[in-house]
Amino acid sequence: MDPDASLPVTRRSLLETGSAVAALAFTGLPHIADGAQPPHDEAPNALVEVELWVNGKTRPLRLDPRTTLLDALREHLALTGSKKGCDHGQCGACTILLEGRRINSCLTLAVMHDGQSVTTIEGLGGLDTLHPMQAAFVEHDGFQCGYCTSGQICSAVGMLHESRAGMPSYVTSDLADARPALTEVEIRERMSGNICRCAAYPNIVAAIRQVAKLST
């Protein structure tokens, strides 16, 4: 005897009913041929128009809204000086200057910066006219493999602007100081978001200190 026969709903009847409902639901779906694409107006990520002011030039782009600023620079504008290291904002290799402020370009979307000014390592200086920070890195041998160097230089340039504006760091002793002295300890703290796996830190600090003294 079926142990569930006395119950108003048996496990068998429940399974049979569920199968029938599933079959009806499936046959009611519109048929989409193999390889067919959904209608354009149903596309979850249609391309959007973005205009960036990159290294002094207007660069109009049509991007997937999920495109990071780093990928827009590297993959769409061929500005590969900004490197993709960790892709999580932890190494600083992708650092660029946005409206004069240093940011990790892998952590922000390009569509968020429509109309804004972007400066990459390519925009700081060229072979004939090196930026003072680039020249100092060369003079002090502030790089080895060079992978992190573009981010280090952009970060250093942004950091000097922050210091001149009186922005303190975690190790600044006098928060009321209008322009904290860029000691070695200050520089190391302010540059701590940029990692050099070759450990060229002493030379990087020396290069930054030289430029800081020239700009005082």
The count of structural domains within the chain is: 2
pLDDT tens-digit series, residues 3-14: 555 555 666 665
Q: What is the CATH number of the domain that holds 116?
A: 3.10.20.30
DSSP calls for 107-168: GSBGGGGTT-EEE-HHHH--SSS--HHHHHHHHTT--SS-TTHHHHHHHHHHHHHHHHTT--
User: Length of the chain in residues, anyone?
Assistant: 216
State which of 84, 107, 124 marks the end of a domain.
Answer: 124
Count Cβ neighbours within 10 Å for each residue of 59-84 and write b for 16 or more, e otherwise: bebebeeebbbbbbbbebbebebbbb
Per-residue confidence (pLDDT) for residue 79, from 0 to 100: 97
pLDDT tens-digit series, residues 96-148: 999 999 999 999 999 999 999 999 999 998 888 999 999 999 999 999 999 99
Range with lowest mean pLDDT among 19-33, 62-76, 84-98, 136-150: 19-33
Confidence of residue 29 (pLDDT cuts 50, 70, 90): very low
For residues 154 and 198, state if they share a domain.
yes
> What are the angstrom distances between the C-alpha of 196 and each of 27, 29, 92?
59, 55, 9
> Could you tell me the strand order of the sheet in which 57-63 lies?
57-63, 48-54, 117-119, 95-98, 101-104
pTM of the model as a whole:
0.77
Per-residue confidence (pLDDT) for residue 12, from 0 to 100: 66
Residues pairing with 51 in the sheet = 60
For residues 153 and 192, state if they share a domain.
yes
Count Cβ neighbours within 10 Å for each residue of 177-205 and write b for 16 or more, e otherwise: eeebebeeebbbebbebbbbeeebbebbb
pLDDT tens-digit series, residues 157-184: 999 999 999 999 999 988 888 788 899 9
Per-residue confidence (pLDDT) for residue 20, from 0 to 100: 58
| Token pair recorded at residue 118 | 């972007």
CB 133 within 8 A of CB 191: no
What is the residue range of 172's domain? 125-216
Q: Determine the 3-state secondary structure of 103 from DSSP.
A: strand
Q: Is the pLDDT of residue 19 over 90?
A: no
For residues 120 and 142, state if they share a domain.
no
Q: What is the CATH number of the domain that holds 133?
A: 1.10.150.120
Eight-class DSSP state of 182: -
State which of 124, 150, 168 marks the end of a domain.
Answer: 124
State which of 124, 142, 164 marks the end of a domain.
Answer: 124
| Token pair recorded at residue 200 | 């060229």
For residues 135 and 215, state if they share a domain.
yes
For residues 110 and 129, state if they share a domain.
no
